[in-house]
Amino acid sequence: MNFETVNIIGTSLAAVKMFFFFFFTNEDLLKTAKTTKEVDDIMKDFQFSQNNNEIREVLIWTKNDDFKKETLRNVKNDKYIGKLNKLKSEFLDFYLKFLSELTNKESEYQRSCDVYTKIGKYIQQIMRLRMVIQPELQIAMNIHTKSRIEYLAAKAFWLNDNGVKERKFTRSLGRVDDYAKGKDDPKVRKEAISKIQEAIYEAYLETYPE
């Protein structure tokens, strides 16, 4: 890859990171030997780049999803993780291309701002699909005004078009006394993930139809 390509893409990613409040750190994200080797192998092509630290950070962030073990054990996530891996592969293929491959006469990428915009869209989509796979949940307890019966509800967040995380999804889980341990019953989280995940994926498909 030539310096022109790296400079433009590196500058674009710096702006995108600021926009989405990214705080990439090798200590937090580079956790496995596999990821280390994959990143090191790719970085061999960028030894003389002016932005090799920037490139390395982007590679680490892309390759390390930082999912919890329970997330990876959830069989329902297999199809979502497959989609995520495909998306990340497409992103890195775009991110590491020569500018000459992106800017032919028929290409939609004629200016550096076009590349910047595309990279930002890729990053936002990856973040949103990760939120489908591992929703950020809150379990709330509500009381019905008339009956005074306590109910549980699952709430989750979404990344809006401005790159800001907002609480958007709510799904009812039923009465508190339906669960042996109330709000702390393991079944609560399991059912909450199942219901809220469906809602988040529907929102994802509205923006990124298959």
Q: Tell the residue number behind the tokens 């699909």, with chain if given.
A: 129
Give me the torsion for CA of 126, 132, 133, 134, rounded to 10°.
100
The vertex-95 CA angle with 93 and 96, nearest 5°, equals: 70
Q: What span, in angstroms and rounded, lies between the C-alpha atoms of 60 and 126? A: 13
Tokens of 123: 């990053």
Q: What span, in angstroms and rounded, lies between the C-alpha atoms of 114 and 101? A: 14
* Tally of CA atoms within 13 A in the half-sphere of 16 that contains its CB: 25
Structural contact between residues 73 and 86, judged by C-beta atoms closer than 8 angstroms: no
Q: What span, in angstroms and rounded, lies between the C-alpha atoms of 1 and 20? A: 26
- What per-residue confidence (pLDDT) applies to 82? 97
CB under 8 Å to 138, separation ≥6 — which residues? 154, 155, 156, 167
Strand residue runs (E) in the chain? 137-143, 150-159, 165-175
pLDDT in single tens digits along all 210 residues of the chain: 443 344 444 444 444 444 444 444 454 455 566 777 888 888 887 766 677 788 888 888 999 898 999 999 999 999 999 999 999 999 999 998 888 788 776 678 777 788 888 999 999 999 999 999 999 999 998 888 888 899 999 999 999 998 889 999 999 998 998 998 888 898 999 999 999 999 999 999 999 998
Q: What span, in angstroms and rounded, lies between the C-alpha atoms of 53 and 65? A: 19
Q: At what angle do helices 52-63 and 33-43 cross, to 10 degrees?
A: 140
